[in-house]
Amino acid sequence: MAITTEQIKELRQTTGAGILDCRKALQEANGDIQQAMDFLREKGLAKAAKRATRTASEGVIELYDHGNGRVGVMVEVNCETDFVGRSDAFRKLAHEIALQIAAASPLYVNEEDIPEEELKHEEEIAVAKAREEGKPEQIIPRIVEGSLKKFKDEVVLLRQPYIRDESITIKDLLNENIVSLGESVIVRRFVRFALGEKAAGEAEEE
C-alpha cells in the first residue's frame, strides 16, 4: 500500500526515528503504525519512544522576555537528571521552547489539554461556515476535520512548526533532543504574557 506523508510524520513524532527509517518501517508493516513502531524498536531505532516513558522531574524553569519587556514567557521543561538539566544543550532547548512560545502564542502544551467544549465550539463554527459557503453536506465532515486540525496546529505547542525550521514541529524538536540527550524530556507547563493583553479568565474593566 502507498505510505502517506502524514503516516511518516506521525511515526517520526512518536519514535524520533529518521524519515527513511519510518518509511521503511511503514512499508514493512503495510501502513500499520503500531507494527511499524514495533519494527523500529526491534531495530533499536525507536529511541525517543522508549526514553519518553521514563520519569522526568528535573530540569529548568526558563524565563524569557522580548521587545524590551512587552512579551514575557515562563516555561518549565523537565528531564530525568540534574546533570542533563544543567547541560548547555538542555538549557538551549528550554530557551528555544520559550522563544517558540513568545513568537507563536500557543495556548496548550498537548492536544489533550484542549477543553472538549472548545473543540465543540470550533466544530460548530466550521459547520456553520461551510453551510454559509454552500458546501455540499456530504463533504462538511471532511471540512470540519481539516478545520480542527488547523486549529490544533495553531494552538498546541507540540504541534506547531518550529520557528527556526518549519519542516519540523516542536514535538520533532523534543524527540531529537530526547535521542541526543539520552533522557526523557517534556514541556510541563508554560505561561505567556503580552503587555496590554487580558489573561485568560480576566474580567473586562468597567
Residues 65, 141 share a domain: no
- The DSSP secondary-structure symbol of 75 reads E
CA Rg value for the chain: 19
- Is position 40 within any domain? yes
What pLDDT, in 10s, does the model give residues 158-169? 999 999 999 899
Q: Could you tell me where the DSSP H helices lie in 16-87?
A: 19-28, 33-42, 47-51, 82-85
Residues 140, 74 share a domain: no
Contacts 24+ apart (CB under 8 A), 38-42: 40/11, 40/15
Residues 128, 32 share a domain: no
- Is position 66 within any domain? yes
pLDDT given at position 136: 87
pLDDT given at position 105: 93
Q: Which CATH number belongs to the domain containing residue 15 in this structure? A: 1.10.8.10
d(CA 205, CA 65): 26
d(CA 156, CA 109): 6
User: Which triple of cell numbers denotes residue 126?
Assistant: 466550521
Total domains, the chain: 3
- Is position 15 within any domain? yes
Residues 164, 147 share a domain: no
Residues 131, 67 share a domain: no
- Is position 201 within any domain? no
pLDDT given at position 6: 82
pLDDT given at position 202: 46
- Is position 202 within any domain? no
pLDDT given at position 200: 47
For residue 156, how far is the Cα from the chain centroid? 6
178 HSE (CA, 13 A, CB side): 30
- Is position 105 within any domain? yes
Structural domain range at position 17 = 5-51
CB atoms within 10 A of CB 175: 24
Residues 63, 47 share a domain: no
Residues 87, 170 share a domain: yes
Residues 80, 92 share a domain: yes
Which whole-number Å values give the CA distances from 199 to 67, 110, 151, 196, in the listed order?
Answer: 19, 20, 20, 9
pTM over 0.85: no
pLDDT given at position 78: 92
Segments in the chain below pLDDT 50 = 200-206
Residues 12, 100 share a domain: no
Q: Which CATH number belongs to the domain containing residue 140 in this structure? A: 1.10.286
pLDDT given at position 203: 42
What pLDDT, in 10s, does the model give residues 30-77? 888 878 887 877 666 555 555 555 666 789 999 999 878 889 999 999
